[in-house]
A and B are shown apart, each in its own frame.
Chain A
Amino acid sequence: MIAPPLDPIDRAIVIATQAGLPLTPQPYHEIGGEVGIPAEEVMARMRRLQETGVIRRIGVVPNHYALGYKANGMTVWDIRDDAVGELGRRLGALDFISHCYQRPRHLPVWPYNLFAMVHARTHQEVEDKVAEMAALLGDASRGHEILYSTRILKKTGMRIGEG
């Protein structure tokens, strides 16, 4: 699951593309010009970064919020340890869940070990989807909460490089 470390050229490609590709007929040629390598090498390296999982996908990144998906709930679940892998995979396959992660509990203040981000247009819609998830999880889930975000206090790109 750990990808090989990025070399300086990979890092330069990440920095040159993380805010998006130029919307021009030959964007990889422009990136190559910026990084100082041929477009073919940009594409070959990006293909390898996709294979190793550093790049998850290449495409249009919509702004959920501008499309009306404003009620995004971080749902957290206390799932029996022996079931969390199987149930995590089943939740992660639902199309309204964008992220599904197992994280450690911190008892007694934090009993939840599974996080799933639910995207919907209204709180009611989030709650309907959470009911669907609860039914799927059955009694392997000992409790859950929905945490709605009320303010974005900081949001930047992933900031690789420079350092």
Chain B
Amino acid sequence: MENVIELKQVHKSFPNFQVKDLSFSVKKGFVTGFIGGNGVGKSTTIKMLMNLLQPDAGTISIFGMNYNKHEKEIKQRIGFVYDENVFYEQSTMLDMRSIMKSAYAKWDDELFHYYVKEFELPIKQKIKSFSKGMMMKASLALALSHHAELIIMDEPTSGLDPIFRRELLDILHSFMQDGEKTIFFSTHITTDLDRIADYITFIHNGELMFSKEYYQIEEEYAIIKGATELLDRDTEKEFIAIRRSNHGFEALTSNKAQASHLFGDSVLLEKPSLEDIMYYTKKGAEGGAAINT
């Protein structure tokens, strides 16, 4: 399978934070959800993918090319959506259209007007008067109108109401129909990914936790619930993190088969949500696998 994005040992340092040794790839024709809490390096990674930031070390290749030599070719093929307004506030959708149109070789006016109509966007109204939802639709319309092969989005669903979030996911779903397009988007609202993501890339504190197919996560990870007596030094090793309460324990494992074999029928195995995985991974990484509540 062809990789649209490839990061190899990417490193970027800031005074208070760093992205460490980040390597993952994004497959062509699929939706990859990029998850992690706030401030763990998602936006930094997306900025590096857009060449807004350059890594201190490591390589980033997009469509098999690097930004040093092929910046314009790469960007011609990317559509971007950010979680903030990056357009001139005083301008209208029509003004922005002419700016974008002159930048992209494959700009398609017909497609733009299709999206404008579909999203019910007022094209002569100043962008600063747009609501958060309209702003997102406007960004999407502008990102999708030049036949981009890769859509990169930074938290597109944050701040949107649940109805529009679902609409947005439908739009993205229909965009993916021809199998040639790729979407990479970051979010911390993990329920969005249940509907659309084929792959999940998870980072925490600037480090990659995993990058896997969605179904694979369901196969490997499990929430185990049982009596506290079952826990000892050996069994605790099976877990990423454990939450104890008066009623027993609840823990996350990344090796469902082994845990199932080890505990048998004495515990309850549940399918974890991505939120569970993020929560326990964060707790596990913060030192010690045990969480007492």
A and B interact physically: no
Chain A residues within 8 Å of B, Cβ to Cβ: none
